[in-house]
Chain A
Amino acid sequence: MPDMESAPAAPATIAGLDEKILTERREAVSRTRRDVLFDVDGLTVSYADVPALKNVSLEIYKNFLTAFIGPSGCGKSTFIRCFNRMNDLIPTASVEGKILYHGTDLYGHEVDSVEVRKRIGMVFQKPNPFPKSIYDNVAFGPRILGWKRELDDRVERALRNAALWDEVKNRLKSSAYGLSGGQQQRLCIARCLAVEPDVLLMDEPASALDPISTTAIEDLMHTLKRDYTIVIVTHNMQQAARVADMTAFFSVEVDEEQDRRTGILVEYDETPTIFTNPGDKRTEDYVTGRFG
């Protein structure tokens, strides 16, 4: 951000945020049609009967980029893992409440978690390419789904959409472990895109990367937003402000008596509002850096 210092920052704005960009974003968000894709209603997630996240309700809109921010332990990663039922893999985890996806409850009895994950892809904090070639990494998803026709085209398209094609087109058969961290993360994104999901979940996708790779991933998010609905978890507030249309702020509720820390949703609004004019004192303290 070149004019970072000259920008007139509003009093309750986190340092380094450009007011002009925020205004533009505010207008853009208000112009976009809001179609509800996920309708979360009274969601509580517990590990071994201890609630980690309590009574969350919010709506996530189609083709929006939604960010979850908040301090460590506020349950934002737990929350994002509910959208593709990754919490099912933890034996002690239990989920109450509803997440409607196109009107169907993701946790309904007739819904298979494998089917959910085919449509709702996920990118993790640490790049986790498979110990295979670049090509085989991207082709893994289509192969397990039995999409064998025109696999080469599909792989190329996914790599192009992840802005990685030009860097790897001459070494598709070499190991994915030879790529840099940022390239590996874009490969993981390409791997998700190859199965043509509806939604991309990203759990702190850039927190293990250097600034240049982070910028590349953020640019990619902007491009992908046109075709996908994206949900990200980030601990970097500038990142949320740069990329997200909507932002949800989570916080921790400490129960001194039982020594329990439970995540709660404090505020959910358009990103510029969260960062410049939050409705809750706790949000304001957090985004201005006064969080204790």
Chain B
Amino acid sequence: MSAIPAPLGQRPRGDKVRGTIFYVLLLISVAVGFIVLFTLIVDVVQKGIGYIDPLFFTEPNNPTNPQEAGAKPAILGTIYLMVLLLMFVVPIGVGTAIYLEEYADRERWYNRLLELNIQNLAAVPSIVYGILGLAFLVRGLGLGRVLLAGALILTLLVLPTVIVASREAIRSVPDSIRQGAYALGATQWQVVRRQVLPAAIPGIATGSILALARAIGETAPLLLVGALTYVTVDPSLLGSFTALPVQIYQWIARPQEEFRYLAAAGIMVLLAILLTMNAFAIWLRNRYQRRW
């Protein structure tokens, strides 16, 4: 230790005040979102908790007696929709993403057009997809108002999201990995199959789950392709169906107070499924996070 350093002065007062104001503003922004969500959840739980009983999961809807009404067809319908959706959207979405990232020649006009279209499709309102589903799947192809039509329309709805997320994941695999594999005499298919895809899977899975979570909350397109509200039988692929959001929508529209509580119970179940899926996506992301 040699010379005594110059005394450290205080920061100018204005500097400090500005910092504090900014910090408070940040806290307020956080609080707004948090309080709204918290109030919503408390309200829903207060109303709905009394209706979460075994009957809710085992009985179909009962339009005359809310006490005995359940949501079994709706819950099953949502689960079936999710499974079908995953089966359709992951292969098509990942396939498109691989094509665009690994094979497509960016110079070609049709590839650029395709890219532009996908970006635009992600912003199209879901009701438009519903109209498309009604015109093309239900009437045009003559599928009728069935579960399969619902799953297909949800697939179209979230396909752009899955494609964008998968492309992002594939693009984040560094080029040096591809070069290393090519230099060992790998073909393009082997590079994609054995290096790029395994490295991109965590990102693809996270994106797909988040897209799925968005899809199961959708009501509008399902209403248009004919999700019914008075279904008492369990759903089947080519039969009429309903889903949780549709059931909630219908219950809320009823004049009787008790149906609102039933709707709250439905919202609780839907929220629980959504939170579980999001938590799983976050876990997956952290578990397989890579540093290059």
Could you tell me which A residues sit within 8 Å of B by CB distance? 84, 86, 89, 91, 114-115, 117-119, 121-122, 124, 126, 128-131, 140-141, 143-145, 177, 188, 191-192, 195
Given contacts A91-B105, A144-B190, contact A118 B181 (CB under 8 A): no
- Is A140 in contact with B194, judged by CB distance below 8 angstroms? yes
Contact A141-B184, Cβ < 8 Å, known A91-B105, A131-B199, A131-B290? yes
Once A115-B185, A140-B184, A145-B185 are accepted as A-B contacts, the answer to whether A126 and B176 lie under 8 Å apart by CB is yes
> Interface of chain B, helix or strand or loop or mixed?
helix
A37 to B291, CA, bound (A): 40
On whether the beta carbons of A130 and B179 are closer than 8 Å, the reply is: no
B187 adjacent to chain A (CB < 8 Å): yes
Of all chain A residues, which has the CB nearest B186?
Answer: A144
Offer 13 A-B interface pairs, CB within 8 angstroms, sorted by A. Answer: A86-B179, A86-B183, A89-B182, A114-B185, A114-B187, A124-B179, A128-B176, A129-B180, A130-B195, A140-B194, A141-B184, A144-B186, A144-B187
Q: A84, A91, A128, A144: which contacts B177 (Cβ < 8 A)? A: A128
Nearest-neighbour CB distance to chain A for B68, whole angstroms, equals 55
Q: How far is the CA of A253 from the CA of B173 in the complex (A)?
A: 36
Considering the complex of A and B, which 3 residue pairs feature the smallest CB-CB distances, nearest first? Answer: A118-B185, A128-B176, A122-B183
Q: How far is the CA of A140 from the CA of B178 in the complex (A)?
A: 13
Q: Provide the residues of chain B in CB contact with A143, threshold 8 Å.
A: 194
CB <8 Å contact, B181 and A114: no
Do B184 and A191 touch across chains, with their CB atoms under 8 A apart?
A: yes
A131 in contact with B184 (CB, 8 Å): no
Asked whether, in the complex, the Cβ of B183 is within 8 Å of the Cβ of A192, the reply is yes
Instruction: Kindly state the separation between the CA atoms of A216 and B199 in the bound complex, as whole angstroms.
Output: 30
**Nearest A residue (CB) for B291:** A177
Chain A residues with CB below 8 A from B185, complex form: 114-115, 117-119, 141, 144-145, 195
Give the number of chain B interface residues (Cβ < 8 Å).
22
Chain B residues proximal to chain A, CB less than 8 Å: 105, 107, 174, 176-177, 179-187, 190, 194-195, 198-199, 290-292
Chain B residues with CB under 8 Å of A141's CB are 184-185
B180–A124 CB distance below 8 A = yes
For the complex with contacts A117-B182, A195-B184, 12 further pairs of A-B residues with Cβ separation under 8 Å are A86-B179, A91-B107, A114-B186, A119-B185, A124-B176, A124-B179, A128-B179, A129-B180, A130-B180, A131-B177, A131-B292, A144-B190
Q: In the assembled complex, which residues on chain B have CB atoms less than 8 Å from the CB atom of A128?
A: 174, 176-177, 179-180
Q: How far is the CA of A201 from the CA of B199 in the complex (A)?
A: 26
B183, B186, B198: the one within 8 Å of A84 (CB): B183
Which residues on B sit within 8 Å (CB–CB) of A121?
A: 183-184
Complex CA gap A144/B190 in Å reads 7
Smallest beta-carbon distance B145→chain A, Å: 47
B173, chain A: closest CB distance, angstroms? 9
Contacts of B176 in A (CB 8 A): 124, 126, 128
- CB neighbours of A131 from chain B (8 A): 177, 198-199, 290, 292
**A191: nearest chain-B partner, CB-CB:** B184
